[in-house]
Structure 1
Amino acid sequence: MNLWEGLLFAIAALVAVRVLVGMMRRREESIVQEVQAQVDAHIEREKEAKKKKRAVSR
């Protein structure tokens, strides 16, 4: 492998790593949004249950 082939290989490896990191970040953001939506839905269900419980006890 001569100098230019090594240089091109190194550049290709850096580009591949950068693409993988970008994909991982997007996936992380997706997971965080998904979990946050589930947490918000759970909190909303708890609020509704408390309202029903208060309405029944009156």
Structure 2
Amino acid sequence: MNIGLGEVILILVVVLLVFGAARLPEIGKALGKGIKEFKKEVNDIKGDEEEKRKNKRK
């Protein structure tokens, strides 16, 4: 399932209408922080799993 340019523009217009132009930077910032935190936690979990595997081999 690919999303084309037309669909992306439509989604952005709907978001603009729902939240308003003033709140978009605020929403983007919050979304960015959420994604950053999610990636950090995923990497932490991966690191923990690698440590467990290394400890099992010893």
TM-score (normalised: structure 2): 0.63
Give the match for residue 20 of structure 1: 38
Identity of aligned residues (%): 3
Q: Return the offset for 1:3.
A: 1.8
Give the distance between the partners of 2:30 and 2:49, measured in 1 at CA: 29
Bigger helix share? 1
1:2 matched to 2:20? The reply is: yes
For 2:32 and 2:46, the matched residues in 1 are separated by 21
TM-score when scaled to structure 1? 0.63
Q: Match for residue 45 of structure 1?
A: none
Quote the Cα distance in structure 2 between the aligned partners of 1:39 and 1:24. 23
The runs of 5 or more residues in structure 2 that have no matched partner are 1-18
Superposition CA RMSD, Å: 0.9
If you compute each CA radius of gyration, which structure gives the higher value, 1 or 2? 1
Q: What is the CA deviation profile of residues 3-54 of structure 1, one whole-angstrom value per residue up to 9, with x for unaligned ones? A: 22111111111000000000001101100000000011xxxxxxxxxxxxxx
Q: Separation in 2 of the partners of 1:39 and 1:19?
A: 31
Alignment length, in residue pairs? 40
Of structures 1 and 2, the one scoring higher in RCO (CA 8 A, sep 6+) is 2
